Amino acid sequence: MIPGREYFWSIDHPELFYLFALAALVSFGRGVWLKIRPWLAAPRGLRPLEPARTAVILLRDGLLGARIFKTGPGSGLLHLLLLWGFLGLFLGTVLISADHYLFRFLFGPTYLLFSWSMEVLGLMLLAGVVWALARRYLAGEARLERDRAGLLVPAWLGLAGLSGFLVEGGRLAGLSPPGGGWSFAGGLVARLWASPEAAQGAYPFLWWGHALISLGLIAGLPFTRLFHALAAPVSLALQGQFLDRALDRALERAQGPAEGDEEERAGEAGGLDLLELVHLEACTRCGRCQEVCPAALAGEPLSPRTFLQALKAEREGLPEGGWCCTTCRACLQVCPVAAAPLGLVRTVRSRIVEEGASVPPRLMEGLERLYKYDNPWLAKKGGKTAWTRGLPFPVPDRPLEEEGEWLFFVGCTTGLETRAQGLARALALILHDRGVPFSTLGKREPCCGDVARQVGEVGLWEVQREQTLDLLEKGGLGNLVCSSPHCLDSFRKVYPGTLGGRDLKAVHYSQLLARLVDQGRLEFKEGLDLKLTFHDPCYLARHNRIVEEPRRVLRAIPGVELREMADSGLKTLCCGGGGGRMWHEPEGQASPGLAQRRLAQAAEAGAEAVVTACPLCLIMLEDARKTGGFEERLKVVDLAELAARALGLDIEEDKEGGG
């Protein structure tokens, strides 16, 4: 007899199976519809997908789960076992149906190969389930939740797998089909029954049991955490979409009165758009985000996972810790399904800010100053040239004249905050000394609006952006060099790429200095005998992948020993100044705070000085140096200041004594 499958052996009323199957499909369909209906109603605003690239992403991040491997081989492998086991067995069922209803092909050697594959897949699934349960509930990895609800899906999968083997065992015991030896696992199970008759007697129960469990799995899938299996591929396919969704919508609204339909649609989805809703459903609660969130690590009441899940449950209000987020982007980088809690934080903040009632008071003051005085720091206009006082040359503030001239966009913090002004002075001195032509916008320099963007004051952001674009157009385009990675990020991500027919390009000053080093124009004659470490600003490293350039500059200084902290480069540990936090203290703000933890890392790395390249980092670390008792152990210095000193330039000793 040729090896093959006998269908519905010993099963009476097979038509009942079709009935159940139909019911399962209906339930599945309804469940999926309920989940995706708000997606369809939500505003979109998505950039078009490239089919080839999307296919690669789905293969790499979906089927192979490449992102899951980022945090270690264990979970990656585990997920593969589960995913492939499940998909494989499902595929097997499909093939069996095709064989039964369409044309027979599963016989002979094909069938034997098929049987063997099903064994392997079934074992994979079971192994995955056992490993998953052990890992979560016994070994107790910190980021994994040990709630009872989490048992549901693995247990169900496990039952489906086990019942499958039982059915097979029963069938093998009852029929002893040819080639049965290829179903090695089933063969072991077959020994449960003493005789073929006993097996045949048990068989219908086993079969219906397995059928119901499996159909139940399908019926219930959209209502369980397993729905991520459908949502995650969508989320992965949409990775790389614009994250400042509230800004996009603000620009649209600014263009004209909102369509009644648009507002309604926004209302139904609770103010979130399609991408954000997909993220809510794709989240698997794995907790990798909270493992890397600097606020969570410092003990603040923010967990990106909890934030996202709270939003999923209740679309109103700002979940706990919403103002603690520094927008460092660590969460997005580690998420296996490419969900972005960071994006959700910004969007929900914009809603809260629009309503007005739960905005932290100090932040309100900062925003009001920004609106009235064009900067969030001082209730005074035109103060952004104070840093030029005492420089041995006049800092130009005229429109750019030559090709290759740089427009130094000083920024609000660098221009106005006492400590940060050192950065501007040092950079100006270097550029002047090295003969690099540059100009500034002088007293008229507006705020690029980044702080408004981070905290969700989208209306104010839009006003600032317009003012800045206006002044840039008049004051000179060409190349912008920014002191702050925050300004840089704004110019690169939320400003247009061209203005008045010319390119709007922005670089960070560390990139400019690196370029000068490469060109041999920055030779540090004076060495510094210093062990130092570089604190990568989040907005430089994580948001814009600028990691090497500052280090190139540092390594070019003789006598400098560059050490790396435990979290450096793309994995940098946030200082806590971003996300608007420089201008307010979130509730539950930790002490010691984020910046102090960073200095502790610097001390551990054996550094004498921490070098940074961002005015906010500079202030946060400098403050932490005092409040954390690091005054004797560490100095905090800006990259430009260090470079200027190594060039032998006389930069005025700043009053804070940070040098």
Partner 1 sequence: MKILVLVKNVPEAAEADLEVDSKSGTLETGDLVYSINEWDNYALEEAVRLKESRGGEVTVLTLGDEEAEDVLRRGLAMGADRAVHLLDEAFEGSDPRTVAKAVARAVQGQGFDLILAGVQSSDLAQAQTGVLLAQELDLPFATLAVGLEIREGRAEVTRELEANTLERVELPLPALVTIQSGINQPRYVSIMGIRKVRRMTVDLRDCRALGLTEEEVGPGCSFVQERRLLQPPAGQGATMLEGSLPEACRTLAGIIKDRGGL
Partner 2 sequence: MSRKVLVVAEHRAGALAESTLEAAGAGLGLGGEVTAALLAADPAGLEGPLLGRVPRLEKIIHPGLAEYNPEAFLEPLSRLIQDLSPGLVLMAHTSQGMDLAPALAGRLGLPLATGCTRVEEKEGAFLVGRPVYGGKLTEELKLGPHPTVVLTLQTGAFAPPPEGPVETRVRETVPEALSPRHLRRFVERLAAARDEVDITAADILVSVGRGIGSAENIERAQALADRLGATLACSRPVADAGWLPKSRQVGTSGQSVRPKVYLALGISGAFQHLAGIGGAQTVIAVNKDPKAPIFQEADYGLVADLFQVLDQLAEAF
Q: How far apart are CA 598 and CA 571, in angstroms?
A: 12
Q: Does 389 bind partner 1 (CB under 8 A)?
A: no
Q: Which does 371 bind (CB under 5 to 8 A by kind): partner 1, partner 2, none?
A: partner 1
User: Which residue, 13 or 372, has its beta carbon nearer to partner 2?
Assistant: 372
Interface residue with partner 1, options 2, 23, 40, 379 (CB under 8 A) = 379
First to last CA, the chain: 88
Length of the chain in residues, anyone?
A: 659
User: Which residue, 500 or 657, has its beta carbon nearer to partner 2?
Assistant: 657
Bridge partners (DSSP) listed for residue 609: 532, 635
Q: Does 116 bind partner 1 (CB under 8 A)?
A: no
621 Cβ contact partners less than 8 Å away, ≥ 6 residues apart: 535, 575, 595, 598, 599, 610, 612, 636
> What is the nearest approach in angstroms of partner 1 to the Cβ of residue 459?
3
Interface residue with partner 1, options 256, 361, 394, 497 (CB under 8 A) = 361
Q: Which does 354 bind (CB under 5 to 8 A by kind): partner 2, partner 1, none?
A: partner 1
Q: Which does 398 bind (CB under 5 to 8 A by kind): partner 1, partner 2, none?
A: none
User: Which residue, 401 or 653, has its beta carbon nearer to partner 1?
Assistant: 653
> What is the nearest approach in angstroms of partner 1 to the Cβ of residue 460?
5
599 Cβ contact partners less than 8 Å away, ≥ 6 residues apart: 610, 621, 624, 625, 628, 630, 634
Q: Does 133 bind partner 1 (CB under 8 A)?
A: no
Q: How far apart are CA 559 and CA 609, in angstroms?
A: 13
User: Which residue, 548 or 656, has its beta carbon nearer to partner 2?
Assistant: 656
Q: Does 463 bind partner 1 (CB under 8 A)?
A: yes
User: Which residue, 363 or 482, has its beta carbon nearer to partner 2?
Assistant: 363
Q: Which does 364 bind (CB under 5 to 8 A by kind): partner 1, partner 2, none?
A: partner 1
Q: Does 194 bind partner 1 (CB under 8 A)?
A: no
> What is the nearest approach in angstroms of partner 2 to the Cβ of residue 358?
15
134 Cβ contact partners less than 8 Å away, ≥ 6 residues apart: none
Number of residues that bind partner 1 (CB under 8 A): 27
Residue bearing tokens 């408004």: 452
Interface residue with partner 1, options 368, 526, 587, 604 (CB under 8 A) = 368
Phi and psi at residue 236, in whole multiples of 5°?
Answer: -65, -40
Interface residue with partner 1, options 11, 127, 378, 471 (CB under 8 A) = 378
> What is the nearest approach in angstroms of partner 2 to the Cβ of residue 550?
28
Question: Which of these, 160, 119, 159, 151, lies nearest to 132 by C-alpha position?
Answer: 151
Greatest CA separation for the chain: 103
User: Which residue, 290 or 350, has its beta carbon nearer to partner 1?
Assistant: 350
- Please give the order of strands across the beta sheet that includes 498-499: 438-439, 406-409, 478-482, 502-508, 498-499
> Residue 13, by phi and psi: left (phi above 0), alpha (psi -120 to 50) or beta?
left
User: Which residue, 361 or 435, has its beta carbon nearer to partner 1?
Assistant: 361
Q: Does 448 bind partner 1 (CB under 8 A)?
A: no
Q: Does 273 bind partner 1 (CB under 8 A)?
A: no
Q: Which does 141 bind (CB under 5 to 8 A by kind): partner 1, partner 2, none?
A: none
Question: Which of these, 412, 567, 404, lies nearest to 486 by C-alpha position?
Answer: 412
User: Which residue, 231 or 451, has its beta carbon nearer to partner 2?
Assistant: 451
Q: Does 655 bind partner 1 (CB under 8 A)?
A: yes
Q: Which residues of 375-412 are buried (b: 16+ CB within 10 A; e: fewer)?
A: bbbbeeeebbbebbeeeeeebbbeebeeeebbbbbbbb
Candidates 233-241, 308-316, 349-357, 533-541; binding stretch for partner 1 (CB under 8 A) = 349-357
Q: Which does 362 bind (CB under 5 to 8 A by kind): partner 2, partner 1, none?
A: partner 2
Q: Which does 459 bind (CB under 5 to 8 A by kind): partner 1, partner 2, none?
A: partner 1
Radius of gyration of the chain from its Cα atoms, rounded to whole angstroms: 31
> What is the nearest approach in angstroms of partner 2 to the Cβ of residue 315?
30
Position 545: which residue type? R
Q: Does 372 bind partner 1 (CB under 8 A)?
A: yes
Q: Which two tokens stand for residue 225?
A: 């955490």
> What is the nearest approach in angstroms of partner 1 to the Cβ of residue 43?
16
User: Which residue, 329 or 419, has its beta carbon nearer to partner 2?
Assistant: 419
Q: How far apart are CA 15 and CA 518, in angstroms?
A: 77
Interface residue with partner 1, options 13, 146, 381, 398 (CB under 8 A) = 381
Distance of CA 428 to the CA centre of its chain: 35
Q: How far apart are CA 582 and CA 403, in angstroms?
A: 36
User: Which residue, 548 or 656, has its beta carbon nearer to partner 1?
Assistant: 656
Q: How far apart are CA 369 and CA 460, in angstroms?
A: 11
Q: What are the residues binding partner 2 (CB under 8 A)?
A: 361-362, 418, 584-585, 589, 626-627, 655-656
User: Which residue, 374 or 638, has its beta carbon nearer to partner 1?
Assistant: 374
Candidates 88-96, 294-302, 361-369, 634-642; binding stretch for partner 1 (CB under 8 A) = 361-369
- Per-position DSSP letters for 269-327, written without gaps between them: TTT--HHHHHHHHH-----HHHHH-HHHHTT-S--HHHHHHHHHH--SS--TTTTT---
- Per-position DSSP letters for 538-553, written without gaps between them: HHHHTTT---HHHHHH
Candidates 324-332, 388-396, 459-467, 578-586; binding stretch for partner 1 (CB under 8 A) = 459-467
> What is the nearest approach in angstroms of partner 2 to the Cβ of residue 585?
5
Q: Could you tell me where the DSSP H helices lie in 150-227?
A: 152-175, 184-190, 196-220
Q: Does 587 bind partner 1 (CB under 8 A)?
A: no
> What is the nearest approach in angstroms of partner 1 to the Cβ of residue 355?
8
Q: Which does 656 bind (CB under 5 to 8 A by kind): partner 2, partner 1, none?
A: partner 2
Q: Which spans of this chain sit near partner 1 (rule: CB under 8 A)?
A: 250, 253, 353-357, 359, 361, 363-364, 367-368, 371-373, 378-381, 457-460, 462-463, 655
